[in-house]
Structure 1
Amino acid sequence: MRLALVQQPATDDLDDNLARGLAAFDRAADAGADLVAYAELAFSPFYPQRHATPERLARSEPIPGPTVEAFQARCADRGVVAVLNLFERDGDRTFDTSPVIDADGTLLGRTRMVHITDYEAFHEQGYYAPGDTGLPVYDTAAGRVGVAICYDRHYPEVMRALALDGAEVVVVPQAGAVGEWPEGLYHAEMQVAAFQNGYVTALVNRVGPEERLTFAGESFVCTPDGRVVAQAGGAEEVLLADVDLADVARSHARRLFLRHRRPDLYAAWLAR
């Protein structure tokens, strides 16, 4: 399986952001990608840098809507799976949402970010309702794919739930800024998740300077044995990574860790 992680800067020109995203999709498809994934809010500025206003909330869009429909057509034309992330409106609520589109253009579903943070320059609780779609794992032409959106990756319960439902690849759309966390922590977190759960983790990050933050890029892919096998830099890039999904079944987690779980002991703790 060949993964492509698209890290591109975003501006207030939403049409240009989408056009560049589609062009990157074509470059990835030309390079043989089976699945193309995008960073958090890939086709718009990172709005939560400032507190929510009615004008900013009005920039959300439905699913399906213009962005998803454009990618549905492109996925069907190129025979490639896409994992997007955008600012979704559903009635009077808005969400941080990853639609998953199969290689024939079918919208398989959407994952909404479950846990919503709020701190300086990440004022997300004014923008996003807590996700209510659960943690689906999608049967795609490229494999069984789960999504853990940005803040959700910090919750081991999320990463384990995707493994228990049979995810082979977990895509993590992220908005991580330069200097936000100690060096190496992103990698360690995704390496441990990949090793403990026996799947591929693919973290795709925003990149470039914006209103209050400079996003770090440095997207990367980890295999089920916890190794980083591909790493992007800090500029616009389409990162390609070849992974063998047969490694999922051969992993320590799938052969040992998941089989030896004791959920009868955990239920009371998880309910706290």
Structure 2
Amino acid sequence: MVHFMFVPRVYPFIAIQLIYFVKAAVIQFKASTKKEDNLKKIVSYISKAAAKNATLCAFPEFMMFFTNSSQTSKQLASLAETINDTFVTTIAKAAKDNHIQVVGSFYEKSKKKDRVYDTSFVIDKSGKVISTYRKIHLYDALGFKESDKMISGSKIAKPVKTSIGKIGMMICYDLRFPEMSRSLAVAGSEVLIIPSAWVKGNMKEEHWITINKTRAIENGCYIIAPDQVGNIYCGRSLVVDPYGKILLDMKKKQGIGFVNIDLDIVKQTRKVLPLLKNRRTDVYPTLKA
């Protein structure tokens, strides 16, 4: 939906302007271990987001099902699917039926025995999968080792055009590696969407909030970070604007949050705080260990 209005801005570089924005929906929920139950919830959320005139809805990592520590790599692999199987095709049909774009994730089968990809996807309003991204940074840290059950992707997906702007895809632990978000921003991303399942722990929520804000500020882009809540995850799904303002914090509640994405804010922020332009890529490689 397109809205036009005159309002004062809090930013120093905008006083009064005509605003063009589109609505995005962020889904935060607790995934169960049952794929079919989660899929029903996902389809319902898509319908509800569309009913509120959102043009895109974004879901968290591991939305397919919760994998507990006792589940073996073989068991996980047996439940994984391809992009053309029931899980994604059902979501694609819901996107088409509701005329809304969907960003989500699933456990994707791989050729490596007893290993799966952690894969995100973008579906357009016609129900077509227009982009996929396989998580490249596996969470082998702080007592976890995703590589025991997963295999990492080998490339960053190119930014793709959507109703809310040109989006770049990352997944959860990728947030901790600034090279990736910077690469996506340089490639043209105006919004970074980061499906996540951020594990609870000492200082983990502080890390989550700080890193999401930092990635937005340093790249002059929106961050949309839907997170799992419950089980071992901390919730706090976030949307941060290009100047570092938190527009949405879903705390610990399951449900849908809505935000307005205004690409003029991306343009204006990058104009007055030209971090991408002011980089010294001619100098950085000269530093050697």
TM-score, length-normalised on structure 2? 0.85
Q: Does structure 1 residue 14 correspond to structure 2 residue 35?
A: yes
Structure 1: give runs of 5+ residues left out of the alignment. none
Which position in structure 1 is the counterpart of 2:248?
A: 230
State the distance in 2 between where 1:219 and 1:253 align.
28
When the two structures are aligned, how many residues end up with a matched partner?
266
**Helix, strand or coil for the counterpart of 1:230?**
strand
Shift of 1:19: 0.4
Q: Deviations over 1:4-60 (max 9, x none)?
A: 11111111221111000110111111111111111111120135x347431222111
**Match in the other structure for 2:106:** 86
Deviation at 1:268, TM superposition (A): 5.5
Partner of 1:261: 279
Letter of the structure 1 residue corresponding to residue 129 of structure 2: L
Taking the TM superposition and a 5 Å limit, the aligned residue runs for 1:237-252 are 237-252=255-270
- Partner of 1:15, secondary structure, is helix
Shift of 1:79: 1.8
Write the letter of the residue equivalent to 2:228. R
Match of 1:99, SS state, is: strand
Cα RMSD for the two superposed structures: 2.1
**Contact 1:75/1:82, CA 8 A, preserved across alignment:** yes
Aligned residue among 140, 147, 153 for 1:118: 140
Gaps of 5+ in 2: 1-21
Whether the 8 Å contact between 1:81 and 1:142 is mirrored in structure 2 is: no
Q: Residue 74 of structure 2: which of 54, 59, 62 is its match?
A: 54
Q: Report the residue type matching 1:5 in the other structure.
A: V
Q: Which of the numbers 76, 87, 99 marks the counterpart of 1:67? A: 87
**Contact between 1:103 and 1:141, CA under 8 Å: does it hold in 2?**
no
Contact 1:148 1:172 in 2 (8 A): yes
Distance of 1:157 and 1:253 partners within structure 2:
21
Give the structure 1 partner of residue 152 of structure 2: 130
- Conservation of the 8 A alpha-carbon contact between 1:144 and 1:166: yes
Q: Indicate how the Cα distance of structure 1 residues 65 and 181 shifts in structure 2: closer, same or farther if over 3 A, else same.
A: farther
Deviation at 1:177, TM superposition (A): 2.7
Residue 135 of structure 1, CA deviation: 3.2
| Counterpart residue identity of residue 75, structure 1 | A
Is the 1:110–1:133 Cα contact (8 Å) retained in structure 2?
no
Which stretches of structure 1, 4 residues or longer, exceed 6 Å deviation after superposition?
none
Separation of aligned partners in 2, 1:267 and 1:65:
44
Alignment partner of 2:88: what SS?
Answer: helix
Match of 1:102 among 124, 136, 156: 124
**8 Å contact 1:194–1:226 — kept in the other structure?**
yes
Corresponding residue number in structure 2 for 1:161: 183
Instruction: Report if aligned partners of 2:61, 2:196 keep a CA contact under 8 Å in 1.
Output: yes
Greater C-alpha Rg? 2
Counterpart for residue 165 of structure 2: 143
Give the Cα separation in 1 of the matches to 2:192 and 2:57.
13
1:150–1:175 contact (8 Å) kept in structure 2: yes
CA distance in 2, matches of 1:235, 1:174: 15
Change (3 A) 1:119 1:156: closer
Please say if residues 205 and 234 of structure 2, whose CA atoms lie closer than 8 Å, have aligned partners that are also in contact: no
**What is the rounded CA distance, in whole Å, between the counterparts of 1:104 and 1:59 in structure 2?**
27
SS in 1 for 2:80: coil
Aligned sequence identity (%): 26
The residue that corresponds to 2:7 in the other structure is: none
**Does structure 1 conserve the Cα–Cα contact (< 8 Å) formed by 2:136 and 2:154?**
yes
